[in-house]
Structure 1
């Protein structure tokens, strides 16, 4: 074999090897992104992350968070499986989108801002102090669920990479929604919408107020489409829209921002131990 032929053959082999290696790398990357294995850090950080998960799952009853909740919802009522559901208001990867521009607040907000604002709206309660134990624990847990995700701060909206995608259609019908609610939802959320042991209230004094994001029919419908019925999400887009229209046609608490803000001396706390 001539020297030129040998060099050409070597280059071909090297090229094929690089292509194969890249393909394997792509497969591994896809696999890892879909099946991320996370382990809690050791020590105090791991404890706080676990505390955050407990608060997310038991927000209305947890000793650290219940004073800030004004209804019967937990964070996981919307962020299914404690935020690990890949589609239903997922926490997966969301920390990588912050700080982000918020059209509602008309400013750039942090992940902590976003989590605490949910207490005012979805939880119909009082915004916990910035830097408080409950605030740090929840955001530590959400950040842990974004382990190894690339940072891509969102200049448009405070949404992460796995946010609920809007439906193409946006109009629901209340009259069509009523029998659909009775068929698909009432067994868990009650005929009166006030909840049961199997599901939280979807209207009334103990549900989200009219300042929450889910008060918008298209937003609620897009969530219903990927989340309900629980463990068997099977609604068509139109069914989701009709049910959302029916649910949001009922009375619920009115949102008044000033009633949900902490007192001035509780807006933020210093959570460190002062040392000289």
Structure 2
């Protein structure tokens, strides 16, 4: 009797071990299948590993440029990249990042030289962000470039020999900016802009400042009436882009008639030893 009971117990134990092994195998398969699912951003799959992580970081930096620990030291106002490149650079017409990477290296008339995508990003920190140029090759710089390049994936390379602009850049208006009427722009601003950006133009937590010390400096692209008007025409008011070209140019003239920081190159360049860095993780 005792021997039969031992045999029965042994068989039951072996069965339990087999069941446990099968259960572990099923769990491992399920975990493996979950891990095999690629991470996504904006509904699109990301590359695996460190590249995908860099792209995710770049998206976060574009969204939270003025407050993110990696970039806030280089920002001198309350603007984020997505303040102008709407929807984190994915808006169909408001300075989209989609396709931008295909144009670089490109000729930059302002700098008088051929520049890379990374150069273009860092120069925006000096002008639109009214800050200091981050080091070339820094983690923040590479991450933002990785994000913009990822948004351009699949588009044909077409370097730009005339301007440092991508294929989907905001089209300039045909109206003469010297014909702008800032007084008409003031009325437009009061009617269609002040409820978000404030009567004083200083914005709030949800809407960026459009003039004053926390806005872009006069060396930024939007510091030029024609550039700002082109952007306003396709971007504002949000989800109701109904400004005419005349209204856009008048509004731009009014906005840019206000005081804002003055761009002096020497104020926005870091010390020479911080202009770039060797970006090997191992320092080798």
Look at both structures and tell me which one has the larger radius of gyration over its CA atoms. Answer: 2
Q: Structure 1: where are the runs of 5+ without partners?
A: 1-35
Q: Please give the secondary structure, in 1, of the residue aligned with 2:44.
A: coil
- Count of aligned pairs between the two proteins: 241
Question: Does residue 245 of structure 1 match 2:253?
Answer: yes
Aligned equivalents of 2:80, 2:253: Cα separation in 1: 23
Name stretches of at least 5 consecutive residues in structure 2 with no aligned partner. Answer: 1-41
Give 1:80's match in structure 2, choosing from 69, 82, 86.
Answer: 86
Distance 1:273 1:173 in 2: 54
Residue in 1 that maps onto 2:163:
157
Query: What is residue 200 of structure 1 aligned with on the other side?
Result: 208
Moved more, 248-257 or 170-179: 170-179
Aligned twin of 2:230: 222
TM-score relative to the length of structure 2: 0.83
Q: Give 1:69's match in structure 2, choosing from 60, 72, 75.
A: 75
Q: Write the distance in 1 (CA, Å) between the matches of 2:203 and 2:43.
A: 35
C-alpha displacement of 1:274 = 4.2
Are 2:182 and 1:174 aligned?
yes
Match of 1:213 among 221, 231, 248: 221
4+ aligned runs moved over 3 Å, structure 1: 273-276
Q: Deviations over 1:170-201 (max 9, x none)?
A: 33111000010011111111100011123100
- Which of residues 252, 270, 273 in structure 1 aligns to 2:281? 273
Aligned-partner SS, 1:76? helix
Are the aligned partners of 1:170 and 1:217 in contact in 2 as well (CA < 8 Å)? Answer: no
Match of 1:236 in 2: 244
SS of aligned partner of 2:52 = helix
Partner of 1:147, secondary structure, is: coil
Say which of 132, 144, 165 aligns to 1:138.
144
Name the SS of the counterpart of 1:144 in structure 2: helix
What is the RMSD of the two structures over their aligned residues, measured on CA atoms? Answer: 1.3
